[in-house]
Chain A
């Protein structure tokens, strides 16, 4: 199968599945570092809402959203891979190897899944800083 046989939507899904996890992780890290550095320095860390720091809520929100994004990317990539792994096509005669797209989809499953784990791990510190920086 060549790239041109795929529809544009599937192409976009493929790239989302491949890079979505990484983008989500980037978003979480940049947001978390900016929110915490700014929040703690500017005294926002002293403002509490519902017993927790305001910035803690923000951090929890960002982390959940980004984890969800990575999870969606993983699922999208997994579904594409499930669909493509079998159609060998003329470009992939050596049957152990899938087409480029199937390969990228597989890479997307692993990468986005790994990023999902990293996002979760990166959220662990939040639990230890609920009330102060």
Chain B
């Protein structure tokens, strides 16, 4: 008995969060970081809300002078950017990071240090955003930053604050995306097949994948715009062959999926709350899953409906009318699945469910106005009018904020162990719902009656004073309602009634652990045999192997953090994944990243170079294989006891999946660059632009030839490694080092001898940037190869298997870098000769 207590205590100590300053900066565990994410996001929500109230005060009456135009334009830019980038997405990411491991039966998320890095980058991004108020250069080009208004010619450093703050937050979003996808695919409890995954996890899986594509495109676009601003490239300079419509295409290719990146997790929350209160499993589970998938796909095919007035051909627009209408089917399926689940169940109308009902009312209304704006002729009238403001607030507040508030009420007892006050909750819900409708319903009519968006005032003869006054009054009620909930969150932390483990009787695994959950989340990995594991906890039919593994891992390992890796599809146990503990590296890496951004912001490029170099050094320290851990794992004996490897490789390893995620990100960035190239190409009468001759293909062909031929050699080296042959492995991987090195050198030579500068024309800018992208991808891969060689030369033959993962990752990345290089080469050097 004593030893059992001792074991538990050691487990507890291994996982317990860091306390006190500066230890908290080193925290990497998902629970404290998830909480911090959510609290930080709620802080930004409060700030964004105050900005909104200020705007509503200015608009309460016509020709008001409470705020000047400049202040107002700053407010709507900051309000939109804050609510989208600093509140909604980060909050949902934080919720996911906190709840997911509990819900799917893991002990942490896949990349704890990346979680910490993402969190800090997010905080720093938000600080950069708001630092603009300190120096009085607040972003004022709108949250959509349309060029040319957002170019150097029309806005000053304020837009740099916006772009760089945004870039940091996007990086945070990307880390969360990879994190979420890999966690869901690899850390599910044994038996939690894809067919039994909670719908919240399904929604997040799809959202995670969407983030990898959408955020990358935005990140690429913002970097291109920053290049235009800081380095005088010409991507968006119409006078030099660039295109303003390109910015709109790229921005909305991100911007529309962004809406669903916020909305799908919100539906995931709804899909958890509804079955709990209906006390029956979700009806139409597979239909909901398909609806999520279809939404994920189709959301990438709607972006042009933000550009219906931009003068695109009527025919093009009509396709996007079709896609924008059809996505409503997916939403319709979800709505009716929830109705079917609730039907006749006599649900208890507790606050989480009230938020669900409020959500249904508001979201269905907002969805239907969404159907209306998909209709091109109608949209030509209401586009950029207050009708749109009404529409997307119904979708975003009704469709995202209400589920978030419902989710707060639902999971608060799990996070804190205490219930929120029911009475405050009812008041808060009622005020929020009424205030919201009073604020935003009149805006539909204001749009019909000719009020454009983003105006700091409107003239009296528009005769809109009455509607606006109602709207402003509503905003105060709405603000009060949300504030009440936040107050409730604060005071119930200490004074709320104790909740118990499962106050609502929920069906998913998080309700099987204590409230608040232990730092290691699951002492014993649950075995899942249904979609409602908390309602049917035991499973006698699990196979012996799984049972034995789960038994061996009950409270184990005690002295280092680890979790169980299972098959991505059918969740059978595959490996044990070591997870890192507290470290300051993520924090300092984030500081270095921020330094690089601030360097660009202040045009002190030496600072950027310093920040960039520091980031790279930190990453090397971070990723460096540590012999101490190898020895620890080897000694643990866990592999022998469970029959599972503690050195997972290939698809068993989170690192491998993470690399796949990284290549997906880099790949979509390359895709966005290629899209930009061809978009500008198609609308240029002359190509290459501005009298630049066709590119000389000889050196580039030699370079890409060397790069691509090294890929099969590296692949051969990897196969030799699996046969345990050290020297052939070294030889094969040397080809990567040599071929990659030659490629990098030749690319540098190629770039240095070009007879034109990147600022000559959009073509010239594209030529440089695409080549630099290929160069950077190859140089990163080359660095990986260098690390591989160092390791291969240093370790003993017996240690070869433990190096496998590193070599696999280098080879995987190398294949990608060569493929991307080839695509960029074909575009730059071959396509002008063919097309």
Residue in B313, B319, B326 whose Cβ sees the most chain A Cβ within 10 Å: B319
Complex: A126 Cα to B442 Cα, angstroms: 37
* Given A22-B297, A121-B325, 19 new contacts (CB under 8 A): A2-B570, A22-B294, A25-B301, A29-B319, A32-B316, A36-B316, A40-B316, A41-B313, A91-B193, A93-B529, A93-B539, A94-B529, A99-B570, A101-B570, A103-B193, A106-B286, A111-B293, A125-B315, A125-B319
Residue in A92, A100, A102, A124 whose Cβ sees the most chain B Cβ within 10 Å: A100
| Chain B, residue nearest A111 (CB) | B290
- How distant is B377 from chain A, measured CB to nearest CB, in Å? 13
- For B270-300 the 0/1 string (1 means CB < 8 A from A) is 0000000000000000110110011001101
Give the chain A neighbours of B179 by CB distance below 8 A: none
Within 8 A of A (CB), among B296-349: 297-298, 300-301, 304, 312-316, 318-323, 325-326, 329-330
Within 8 A of A (CB), among B497-546: 529-531, 539, 541, 543
- The answer on a CB contact under 8 Å between B529 and A90 is no
- For B530-574 the 0/1 string (1 means CB < 8 A from A) is 110000000101010000000000000000000000010111100
| B194 sits at the interface (CB 8 A) | yes
Residues of B near any A CB (own CB < 8 A): 191, 193-196, 286-287, 289-290, 293-294, 297-298, 300-301, 304, 312-316, 318-323, 325-326, 329-330, 529-531, 539, 541, 543, 567, 569-572, 682-683
Give the chain A neighbours of B570 by CB distance below 8 A: 1-3, 91, 99-101
Contact of A94 among B323, B325, B530 (CB under 8 A): B530
| Chain A, residue nearest B304 (CB) | A33
Give the chain A neighbours of B196 by CB distance below 8 A: 97
- How distant is A54 from chain B, measured CB to nearest CB, in Å? 13
Complex: A117 Cα to B304 Cα, angstroms: 21
Contact of B319 among A33, A41, A99 (CB under 8 A): A33
Complex: A124 Cα to B322 Cα, angstroms: 8
Complex: A99 Cα to B320 Cα, angstroms: 37
Residue in B320, B326, B683 whose Cβ sees the most chain A Cβ within 10 Å: B326
- For A80-114 the 0/1 string (1 means CB < 8 A from B) is 00000000001111100111111110110011001
Give the chain B neighbours of A90 by CB distance below 8 A: 541, 543
Within 8 A of B (CB), among A39-84: 39-42, 45
- The answer on a CB contact under 8 Å between A42 and B682 is yes
| A37 sits at the interface (CB 8 A) | yes
Give the chain A neighbours of B289 by CB distance below 8 A: 107
Give the chain B neighbours of A33 by CB distance below 8 A: 304, 316, 319-320
- The answer on a CB contact under 8 Å between A100 and B193 is yes
With A33-B319, A38-B682 in contact, is A133–B313 under 8 Å at CB?
A: yes
With A25-B301, A91-B191, A94-B530 in contact, is A125–B318 under 8 Å at CB?
A: yes
- The answer on a CB contact under 8 Å between B323 and A103 is no
Residues of A near any B CB (own CB < 8 A): 1-3, 22, 25-26, 29, 32-34, 36-42, 45, 90-94, 97-104, 106-107, 110-111, 114-115, 117-118, 121-122, 124-126, 128-129, 133
Closest 9 pairs (CB-CB, A-B)? A40-B313, A103-B195, A125-B318, A100-B193, A122-B322, A36-B316, A93-B541, A22-B297, A133-B313
Give the chain A neighbours of B543 by CB distance below 8 A: 90
Complex: A40 Cα to B683 Cα, angstroms: 11
Complex: A128 Cα to B286 Cα, angstroms: 36
- The answer on a CB contact under 8 Å between A26 and B300 is yes
- The answer on a CB contact under 8 Å between B323 and A36 is no
- The answer on a CB contact under 8 Å between B329 and A114 is yes
- The answer on a CB contact under 8 Å between A121 and B326 is yes
Residue in B286, B541, B571, B683 whose Cβ sees the most chain A Cβ within 10 Å: B286
| Chain A, residue nearest B302 (CB) | A29
- How distant is A122 from chain B, measured CB to nearest CB, in Å? 4
- The answer on a CB contact under 8 Å between A22 and B293 is yes
- The answer on a CB contact under 8 Å between B298 and A98 is no
| Chain A, residue nearest B196 (CB) | A97
Give the chain A neighbours of B321 by CB distance below 8 A: 125
Contact of A36 among B294, B301, B313 (CB under 8 A): B313
- The answer on a CB contact under 8 Å between B290 and A107 is yes
| Chain A, residue nearest B293 (CB) | A111
| Chain B, residue nearest A115 (CB) | B294
